[in-house]
Amino acid sequence: MTQDLPSPPRLETLAADKPISLFLDFDGTLVDIAPTPDAIEVPSDLLDKLAALAERHDGRVALVSGRAIDDLEGHLGRVTLACAGSHGSHCRDADGGVVGDVPGALAEDVLDEVSNFAAAEGFSREDKAHGVALHYRSDPSLENRGLAFAQKLAERHELQVKRGKRVIELTARGGGKADAVRAFMETEPFKGSHPVFVGDDVTDEDGMRAATDLGGVGIAVGERPSENAKYALANPAAVHQWLGL
């Protein structure tokens, strides 16, 4: 780990004087980064362990992922925790009820343009209910071309561009991991607790900032220097250990 941040106190210590909520990113935080989105290795008991963690914290655990919720469920099974997909565009409570506002899907002509560009330039495309991602892990030299394309398209269609690990994404404006944290924190069982956001990527900075603003902390995972984290953990294995999964 290259960043100069201390390890967090033990989870039990952090939760000793005040109720905390755990907001957990998925890729790079709970599972290791893999060559393609579908190649991740997800322990078969991960969801059960997360459910047990949620039970220990009276339901105050939420997954906050860039992936669409359907995609997460394809890897984990039916998620019975609070959950935010597509970078916080779609938030669901533990009973499946919608939390906060949900933006619409991207317009067909935008999706067609992204699809044509991806096919012509060698990106791998990931469609989501509330956005679309262009992956270039197999050829990092595509980054600048992908970014220029996404920025122009975002300007023309009033969308936002999100950056991640070897991925460029387009989503509707508004929404994000900060909004997801804030929306959950206004509802039970999160209300009145101190949010702890754990994540590894650029989009997680928003979640960490929101958690800090609301009296909690951010925990960065891995080597990427973080502007908003107070603590750091080396990798997903260290996250599992810290969470007691």
Residues that bind ligand L263DTV3 (CB under 6 A): 25-28, 33-37, 40, 65-67, 126, 133, 135, 137, 164-167, 169, 201, 203
Q: Using CA atoms, how far apart are residues 85 and 162, in angstroms rounded to an integer? A: 14
Q: How far is the CB of 17 from ligand L263DTV3 (least distance, A)?
A: 30
At 161, list the tokens. Answer: 């561009």
Query: By the 8 A CB rule, do 93 and 187 touch?
Result: yes
Q: How far is the CB of 166 from ligand L263DTV3 (least distance, A)?
A: 4
Residue closer to ligand L263DTV3 (CB basis): 35 or 225? 35
DSSP per residue, 103-165:
--PPPHHHHHHHHHHHHHHTPEEEEETTEEEEE-TT-GGGHHHHHHHHHHHHHHHTEEEEEET
Residue nearest ligand L263DTV3, CB atom distance: 66
Give which of 198, 199, 236 is closest to 31, Cα–Cα.
236
* Tokens 């992908």 found at: 146
Residue closer to ligand L263DTV3 (CB basis): 12 or 41? 41
From 17, 25, 93, 95, the catalytic residue? 25
Neighbours of 46 (CB within 10 A): 17
Sheet holding 124-128, edge to edge: 124-128, 131-135, 167-172, 159-164
Q: How far is the CB of 83 from ligand L263DTV3 (least distance, A)?
A: 11
Strand locations in 93-142 (E): 98-99, 124-128, 131-135
Q: Using CA atoms, how far apart are residues 173 and 157, in angstroms rounded to an integer? A: 10
Q: Is 206 a catalytic residue?
A: no
Residue closer to ligand L263DTV3 (CB basis): 65 or 89? 65
Q: How far is the CB of 72 from ligand L263DTV3 (least distance, A)?
A: 8
Residue closer to ligand L263DTV3 (CB basis): 15 or 126? 126
Residue closer to ligand L263DTV3 (CB basis): 8 or 164? 164
Q: How far is the CB of 109 from ligand L263DTV3 (least distance, A)?
A: 22
Which residues participate in catalysis according to the annotation? 25
